[in-house]
């Protein structure tokens, strides 16, 4: 029997969790999803994480993503959740509340780890950038399969604004843009990444990667750019992998 882990992915709109086959990266159970508390209150978010784990009937250690910079379990940014999260030892808090070890890592780093180990970036040498389009824009940077953590490339300033304020999928929805209208904003962002890092591969993930055929062909850059293979389950898989490695 293949080893099984559990991962939780905290997003701006939903907190999702599932069992993960650690040999293949595939989900080994149905995904449990509960809306993220709109207050983004720390205790309410922790309660929701634990509710996801309980509803999934998982009683072992698990991994959990966070949409911000995470160093040794401590949060150093939380652009979309609020400043009250800063300097929180989130791993220690979850471990205490859950009564078992919990590993915390950046959400895009988790998605990147899954894509590099099991997805479209598997076996790819050189510079690989995995991006996640959602409430913001997450990023994971790899060199020859080694992660450079907490890059936060969605906060690059482009034309006087954070890139994610104009190019995230949330911005698309907020402004009612068609895919054709949204594509030039993606072009601007990915062209900038292409110039700064000269990557060999860019992977476009996040929930909207399921609809990549509607916009990815409109982006023209030097680097190869492809949709994520694991789509929106990559964060869950990467969280479970991180917990197993820890």
**183 and 102 together in one domain:** no
| CA 169 to each of CA 12, 87, 163: distance values in angstroms, whole numbers, following the listed order | 12, 28, 12
Q: What is the pLDDT of residue 79?
A: 78
**160 and 220 together in one domain:** yes
Q: How many domains does the chain have?
A: 2
Residue 159 lies in a domain: yes
- Using a 10 angstrom Cβ sphere, with 0-12 exposed, 13-18 middle and 19 or more buried, the burial of residue 245 is exposed
**155 and 67 together in one domain:** no
**51 and 80 together in one domain:** yes
**187 and 241 together in one domain:** no
**205 and 140 together in one domain:** yes
User: For 155-178, what is each residue's pLDDT tens digit?
Assistant: 999 999 999 999 999 999 999 999
Residue 84 lies in a domain: yes
Residue 192 lies in a domain: yes
Residue 231 has pLDDT above 90, yes or no: no
What is the CATH classification number for the domain harbouring 159? 3.30.420.40
pLDDT band at 4 (very low <50, low <70, confident <90, very high): very high
Q: How far apart are CA 155 and CA 120, in angstroms?
A: 25
**215 and 148 together in one domain:** yes
Residue 68 lies in a domain: yes
**100 and 136 together in one domain:** no
Residue 164 lies in a domain: yes
Residue 116 lies in a domain: no
Residue 114 lies in a domain: no
**96 and 52 together in one domain:** yes
Q: How many CA atoms within 13 Å lie on the side-chain side of 134?
A: 21
User: Nearest-5° angle of CA 234, CA 240, CA 243?
Assistant: 140
**140 and 186 together in one domain:** yes
Residue 207 has pLDDT above 90, yes or no: no
Residue 31 has pLDDT above 90, yes or no: yes
User: For 97-152, what is each residue's pLDDT tens digit?
Assistant: 999 999 999 999 999 999 999 999 999 999 999 999 998 999 999 999 999 999 99
What is the residue range of 179's domain?
122-228
**162 and 140 together in one domain:** yes
Q: How far apart are CA 227 and CA 231, in angstroms?
A: 8
pLDDT band at 232 (very low <50, low <70, confident <90, very high): confident
Q: What is the pLDDT of residue 59?
A: 96
């Amino acid at each position: 029997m293949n080893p099984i882990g559990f991962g939780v992915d905290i997003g701006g709109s939903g907190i999702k969790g599932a069992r993960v086959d650690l040999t293949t990266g595939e989900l080994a159970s149905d995904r449990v999803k509960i809306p993220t508390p709109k207050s983004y209150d720390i205790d309410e978010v922790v309660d929701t994480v634990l509710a996801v784990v309980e509803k999934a009937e998982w009683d072992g250690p698990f991994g959990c993503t966070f949409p911000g910079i995470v160093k040794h379990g401590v949060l150093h940014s939380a652009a979309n959740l609020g400043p009250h999260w800063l300097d929180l030892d989130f791993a220690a808090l979850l471990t205490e509340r859950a009564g078992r070890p919990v590993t915390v890592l950046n959400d895009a780093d988790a998605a990147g780890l899954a894509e590099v180990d099991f997805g479209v970036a598997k076996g790819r040498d050189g510079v690989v950038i995995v991006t996640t389009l959602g409430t913001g824009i997450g990023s994971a940077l790899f060199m020859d399969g080694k992660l450079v953590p907490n890059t936060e490339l969605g906060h690059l300033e482009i034309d006087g604004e954070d890139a994610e304020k104009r190019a995230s999928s949330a911005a698309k929805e907020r402004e009612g843009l068609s895919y054709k209208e949204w594509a030039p904003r993606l072009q601007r962002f990915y062209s900038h990444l292409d110039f700064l890092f000269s990557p060999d591969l860019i992977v476009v993930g996040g929930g909207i990667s399921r609809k990549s055929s509607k916009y990815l062909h409109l982006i023209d850059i030097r680097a190869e750019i492809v949709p994520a293979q694991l789509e929106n389950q990559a964060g869950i898989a990467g969280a479970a992998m991180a917990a197993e490695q820890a």
